[in-house]
Amino acid sequence: MEPNTPNTEPPLPPRRFETAHQGVFHGSAVSYRCLAAEAHLPDSDGKPRVSLVSFSYLADTEDPALRPVTFVFNGGPGSASLWLHMGAIGPRIIKVPSDAKPTGSGPYTVCDNDLCNLDQTDLVFIDPPGTGYSQMLGDAKAADVWGLDADADLIAQFIKVWLTTHRRWASPRYLCGESYGTTRAVAVAGKLSGGLAGVAFNGIALISTILDFHTARFEKGNVLPDVCFLPTFAATALYHGKISTDLSRDAFLDKVRDFAPEYLAALFAGSRLDEPRRIAVRDQLAAFTGLSPDWLDRTRLRIDPARFRKELLRSSGQTVGRLDSRYVGTDYDQAGELPEDDVSSSAIDSAFVSSVNDHLTRTLGIDWDRPYVPFNAQALKTWNWVVRKPDDALAWPGYVNVAPILGRLLRDNPGLRVLVASGLYDLATPFYAVESTLAGNGIACERIRMTYYEAGHMMYLHDPSLAALMADLRALMTA
């Protein structure tokens, strides 16, 4: 049965698979068990509507009541948690080339992850409905769970059920999300804060962050994304040798940041921009991005990221990746306007999907009678982005921005700490976009730690960045 097809048959009792393991993490030997378990979450009438499957890695301790627990998910929307599960945070991870080369064909290498923080915190990997082994039940429809508010409600419900089932309400609690998972993390924390929900978090880790979608929607009339992506364009051009500078990379990127407001003003001026100023801005853009002044003239100084990925290395017939612009590939049509695909995604997909299926079925002994769904494209296509309004509010169309929720969480909870982890070569959720988001929206930035890595959206594909990210996640708990 397709993962988004309603199943009208009465649900079978929830299943669970439990295995025992040993590992050495940060020099400490840890005995732990993995519990792969279904949770049947009911609707408001008490009827099961979702079978949500999670993977809980629990250290064997005499008294786990006060041991921290971290809830982990990816984004999409429509993605299962395999990327963080098998790429960085789980006790076993896949090894991929650190130098942005394709993983190729199998067999792939999966090894113990000595950087895993299981010596410090229990880990719960969550696959939302329609992803992984999770699915809708009964007469539940995709529209009931595939949306910003509905998804956040569901994950919040699951967290409360998990804390109750495992008797862990006294445990310090952390959330960790990647990409859209950062939107989900803030939305879920907002659902669980106030109104006697009773689940305050000690820390939230936001990996490859997007909170304000206005910063990433390239549309006519919206010039903000062009500016938010500019420093990542510059970092990419510098990485591939299309520009040169006497400055250090970080100093160079600071210079690009300083230019960004001037660029924004020029784009906002549009046809009102006088010619000498337009030429000055164009030439500075060319110097920062490696794109030709003639090409920038023809785009009216606007740089769409997909066009950038095709244009930057056009002279050598190559394109750069979206999720990680360190990766390069070659299209069939080298005169085209847009890349054929995202070479950084196709370079690793087989390795991750193959490895997670092997880990789940062979290492964890799971034999569910349904396939593991790594990504559900239908969820992304039909996602309900509308933010639920109070009954008396005007339903004006708008865009998703959960950043004000983060601001409220920091004001209401003085113990909350936030990690914002960004890859310098991420052309999906660029670092300057989240910097700009955090600069506004009433956010207390003194309790937010910003970290940067020499890789892309999945910075853990780069070995030094993986080590740095895991250290930064560890520090979040000891701040």
What sign does the CA torsion over 273, 275, 277, 279 have? positive
Per-residue model confidence (pLDDT) at position 219:
87
Arch. (CATH architecture) of 16-214+349-478: 3-Layer(aba) Sandwich (3.40)
State the Cα–Cα distance between residues 200 and 3, nearest whole angstrom: 32
Distances in Å between the Cα of 104 and the Cα atoms of 108, 343, 476 are 9, 12, 35
pLDDT band per the 50, 70, 90 thresholds, residue 288: very high
Over residues 329-336, the mean pLDDT reads 92
| Spatial contact of 117 and 470, defined as CB atoms under 8 Å apart | yes
**What does the angle CA 198 – CA 202 – CA 203 come to, to the nearest 5 degrees?**
125
| Spatial contact of 190 and 201, defined as CB atoms under 8 Å apart | no
pLDDT of residue 392 exceeding 90: no
Per-residue model confidence (pLDDT) at position 100:
94
**What does the angle CA 41 – CA 178 – CA 60 come to, to the nearest 5 degrees?**
65
Per-residue model confidence (pLDDT) at position 397:
66
Per-residue model confidence (pLDDT) at position 393:
58
Instruction: Specify burial of residue 369 (Cβ count, 10 A radius: 0-12, 13-18, 19+).
Output: exposed
pLDDT band per the 50, 70, 90 thresholds, residue 470: very high
Query: Would you give the distance in Å from CA 80 to the centre of its chain?
Result: 11
pLDDT of residue 394 exceeding 60: no
Q: Largest Cα–Cα distance of the chain, in whole Å?
A: 73
Q: What are phi and psi of 353, to 5 degrees?
A: -65, -45
247: tokens are 């400055």
| pLDDT tens per residue across span 208-265 | 999 999 999 888 889 999 999 999 999 999 999 999 999 999 999 999 999 999 999 9
| pLDDT tens per residue across span 163-207 | 999 999 999 999 999 999 999 999 999 999 977 788 999 999 999
pLDDT of residue 4 exceeding 60: no
| Spatial contact of 106 and 352, defined as CB atoms under 8 Å apart | no
pLDDT of residue 68 exceeding 60: yes
pLDDT of residue 318 exceeding 80: yes
Percent of the chain at pLDDT > 90 equals: 85
Domain ranges for the chain, please list them: 16-214+349-478, 219-342
pLDDT band per the 50, 70, 90 thresholds, residue 468: very high
Q: Shortest CA distance to 206 belongs to which of 467, 471, 384, 451? A: 451
Over residues 96-107, the mean pLDDT reads 92
pLDDT of residue 465 exceeding 90: yes
Q: What are phi and psi of 151, to 5 degrees?
A: -65, -45
Q: Shortest CA distance to 122 belongs to which of 164, 51, 172? A: 172
Tell me which amino acid residue 143 is.
A
Q: What is the pTM of this model?
A: 0.95
Which segment of 222-236, 337-351, 388-402, 403-417 scores lowest on mean pLDDT? 388-402
Q: Which residue has the tokens 């930035």?
A: 445
Please tell me which residue, 196 or 87, carries the higher pLDDT value: 87
| Spatial contact of 282 and 296, defined as CB atoms under 8 Å apart | yes
Per-residue model confidence (pLDDT) at position 307:
97
- Name the average pLDDT for the chain: 93
| pLDDT tens per residue across span 113-141 | 999 999 999 999 999 999 999 999 988 88
265: tokens are 């003003």
Per-residue model confidence (pLDDT) at position 197:
82
406: tokens are 């983060």
| pLDDT tens per residue across span 14-61 | 899 999 999 999 999 999 999 999 999 998 888 889 999 999 999 999
